[in-house]
Chains A and B, each alone.
Chain A
Amino acid sequence: MKKPALFFLCGLLFSLALSSCVSVKAYQKMYLNDSEMELSGKKIEMFETNYETYREGASGANGGKVGGGCGCN
């Protein structure tokens, strides 16, 4: 538990530190605004995320569902 927490904390610090310096203007975001650059799972992936949630003991942190539906089959 400690290692991933440290990893997450470092990542968070790194991102927060960057936020004070990096400043990409709206008109420079041609690449960042591309739909392939979205920082979330794609809509079409939702079905895959759903069965992965059921077929694996692990879930979460990817926008997938964490409750509702037994997935018991």
Chain B
Amino acid sequence: MVVTNKIKGMILKKTIILLALICGCQLAISQELFDSFDSAQDTAQNKLKSSYQMKANTNEIEANFLSSYYNQDGNNSPVTGGIGTEALTDFANVFIINVPIDSINSVSLFGGADSYTSASSDNIDSNVSSASMEDTRGYGTLSYNRKNLKRSETYGIRAGYSKEFDYQSFSTGLSYTKEWNEGNSELNFTGQAYFDKWLGKEHSTELIYPEMWLGDFLGYQKLTNPNRNSYNAQLFLSQVISKRLQIGISAEIIYMSGLLSTPFHSVYFADKEDYELDIERLPSTRLKIPFGVRLNYFPLDFLVLRSYYRYYTDDFGINAHTFEFETPLKINSSFTVSPFYRYHTQTASKYFAPKNQHLSTETYYTSDYDLAGLYAHKYGLGLKYYPTFGLLRSQPIFNTHGVFMFKYIELRSAIYKRSTDFSAFNISINLGFGFK
């Protein structure tokens, strides 16, 4: 009891010291900031402060076309019980358009399609060319935003849908943003819900199981609920610290329920023969809690430092840390080169074990290496070419209507290596357009 009180006292002391340091930093920063202004500027600023209003929508329609090629390989596919090829290629195309209706209302559309080939999914059954070998995923989200300029608030609503051969998802979401302190502080709340469903083979309601799984014959139960629902609430606070420094802090809660395992993932046991394999079994709920911090700094006119850290924890037993660092270098007014590095480490889920290490008496088991203890490095390079007046610009249409602009082009390539002998390569392109 005495020891507990001492520990509590120490924690309290540390918290007080920390808060004192925070207040000190706050004073130092604000002092430095305010010292740099003379009284004449202050008067002018006070006038501006009283007349500050959040930014209204511009009359420009913005659009982006993004395309990506992704390739991965490894030898721990969960489809074949934690061994076997994970080779997969994915070609993705996304189109985003944001249309301002007037100064306060806007609509945006996010749509895309992925085309992928997966060697592991092809191993679900022995057909030489099954539906799972090559497939397409289509998705789209429509959003509507409305601003209240006087109150510096933005309200948003969105709805989306996606579908692939074995999975479909409906989603809906709400968002609220409030800015204050002349736009130097902003708080955003986003709530989203996903209503997903596992699908069976064509014209069948039965889920897709591994061909080698003997199911009922060995006394294993089939899955009865094909639904998976996810709800998430996110709070994001962004704060300007100085003319060159800003921070963003995010906290999120994600609750998932339903069928959280994958019906065609296999598990081989230590106490049974391999032909007595079962499908992956996981609890029907999962709570995920990630916290993230972004700190961006513009120390020199040609250099930006972008940093990100995330702590993650969930009730599957995974604790993870992620660090990311990017240094965009402005070669000239149009051209930016951005090398980046990311490190991720996580502990294994309590339900994970490699092939032939689970006991069949356990309630939950998986050999999916995405849930294993691992670390991963990602590094790469981004290039952006954004001339002041754009790359291409049309003549005004009929001499009166707007101008179409091809504004910028962006390329980014990344190499990803995971400690479980898994590697991936990705290259993406982003084309930015405008019409006004």
Please name all residues of chain B whose beta carbon is closer than 8 Å to the beta carbon of A1 when the two chains form the complex: 289, 313
By the criterion CB–CB under 8 Å, are A48 and B414 in contact? Answer: yes
Q: Which residues of B (207-250) have their CB < 8 Å from a CB of A? A: 228, 230, 232, 234, 237-244, 246-250
Please name all residues of chain B whose beta carbon is closer than 8 Å to the beta carbon of A51 when the two chains form the complex: 70, 72, 90, 416, 424, 426
By the criterion CB–CB under 8 Å, are A58 and B320 in contact? Answer: yes
- Interface membership of B192, Cβ < 8 A: yes
Please name all residues of chain B whose beta carbon is closer than 8 Å to the beta carbon of A24 when the two chains form the complex: 33, 182, 184, 240, 242-243
A-B contact count (CB 8 A): 261
- Interface membership of B252, Cβ < 8 A: yes
Distance of A67 Cα from B160 Cα, bound (Å): 11
By the criterion CB–CB under 8 Å, are A21 and B26 in contact? Answer: yes
Please name all residues of chain A whose beta carbon is closer than 8 Å to the beta carbon of B247 when the two chains form the complex: 11, 15, 39
One of B101-109, B116-124, B148-156 at the interface: B116-124
By the criterion CB–CB under 8 Å, are A58 and B26 in contact? Answer: no
By the criterion CB–CB under 8 Å, are B26 and A68 in contact? Answer: no
- Interface membership of B157, Cβ < 8 A: no
Q: Which residues of A (22-69) have their CB < 8 Å from a CB of B? A: 22-26, 28-32, 34-40, 42-48, 51-52, 54-62, 66-69
Distance of A6 Cα from B322 Cα, bound (Å): 18
Q: Given contacts A39-B296, A43-B96, is CB(A15)–CB(B249) below 8 Å?
A: yes
Select B344's contact among A18, A21, A39, A52, beta carbons within 8 Å: A52
Please name all residues of chain B whose beta carbon is closer than 8 Å to the beta carbon of A66 when the two chains form the complex: 192, 194, 230, 232, 252, 254, 288
- Interface membership of B61, Cβ < 8 A: no
Distance of A67 Cα from B18 Cα, bound (Å): 37
Distance of A13 Cα from B196 Cα, bound (Å): 37
Contact digits for B16-29, partner A, Cβ 8 Å, 1 yes 0 no: 00110011011001
| Interface-central residue, B228, B246, B252, B320, by most chain A CB under 10 Å | B246
Q: Given contacts A39-B238, A55-B424, A62-B292, is CB(A31)–CB(B244) below 8 Å?
A: yes
By the criterion CB–CB under 8 Å, are A4 and B311 in contact? Answer: yes
Q: Which residues of B (242-280) have their CB < 8 Å from a CB of A? A: 242-244, 246-252, 254, 256, 262, 264-265
By the criterion CB–CB under 8 Å, are A26 and B182 in contact? Answer: yes
Please name all residues of chain A whose beta carbon is closer than 8 Å to the beta carbon of B296 when the two chains form the complex: 36-39
Chain B at the A interface: SS class? strand
Q: Which residues of B (398-412) have their CB < 8 Å from a CB of A? A: 410, 412
Give the distance to chain A from B206, nearest Cβ to Cβ, in Å. Answer: 17
Give the distance to chain B from A67, nearest Cβ to Cβ, in Å. Answer: 3
By the criterion CB–CB under 8 Å, are B184 and A61 in contact? Answer: no
Please name all residues of chain A whose beta carbon is closer than 8 Å to the beta carbon of B66 when the two chains form the complex: 43-44, 46-47
By the criterion CB–CB under 8 Å, are B310 and A61 in contact? Answer: yes
Contact digits for B299-340, partner A, Cβ 8 Å, 1 yes 0 no: 000001010101111101010101000001000000010100
By the criterion CB–CB under 8 Å, are A68 and B294 in contact? Answer: no
Please name all residues of chain B whose beta carbon is closer than 8 Å to the beta carbon of A39 when the two chains form the complex: 238, 246-248, 294, 296
| Interface-central residue, B180, B241, B264, B349, by most chain A CB under 10 Å | B241
By the criterion CB–CB under 8 Å, are B243 and A29 in contact? Answer: yes
Please name all residues of chain A whose beta carbon is closer than 8 Å to the beta carbon of B322 when the two chains form the complex: 58
Q: Which residue of A lies closest to B240 (CB)?
A: A24
By the criterion CB–CB under 8 Å, are B346 and A56 in contact? Answer: yes
Please name all residues of chain A whose beta carbon is closer than 8 Å to the beta carbon of B18 when the two chains form the complex: 10
Please name all residues of chain B whose beta carbon is closer than 8 Å to the beta carbon of A17 when the two chains form the complex: 22-23, 26
Give the distance to chain A from B88, nearest Cβ to Cβ, in Å. Answer: 5
Please name all residues of chain A whose beta carbon is closer than 8 Å to the beta carbon of B418 when the two chains form the complex: 55
Please name all residues of chain A whose beta carbon is closer than 8 Å to the beta carbon of B288 when the two chains form the complex: 58-60, 66
Distance of A62 Cα from B320 Cα, bound (Å): 14
Distance of A47 Cα from B429 Cα, bound (Å): 10
Please name all residues of chain A whose beta carbon is closer than 8 Å to the beta carbon of B256 when the two chains form the complex: 67
Contact digits for B157-189, partner A, Cβ 8 Å, 1 yes 0 no: 000101010110101000000001111110000
24 A–B contacts, CB within 8 A, in A order:
A16-B237, A18-B30, A19-B181, A21-B33, A22-B240, A22-B241, A32-B243, A36-B336, A37-B296, A38-B296, A42-B412, A44-B412, A47-B66, A47-B68, A48-B412, A55-B424, A56-B376, A57-B314, A57-B346, A61-B252, A66-B192, A67-B192, A70-B164, A72-B262
Which 9 residue pairs are nearest across A and B when measured between Cβ atoms? A67-B194, A61-B292, A67-B230, A68-B169, A39-B248, A61-B290, A58-B320, A21-B30, A58-B312
Excluding A24-B33, A58-B290, 15 further A-B contacts by CB distance (< 8 Å) are A14-B22, A24-B182, A29-B243, A35-B386, A37-B304, A44-B412, A44-B428, A47-B92, A52-B344, A58-B310, A61-B292, A66-B194, A67-B169, A72-B78, A72-B121
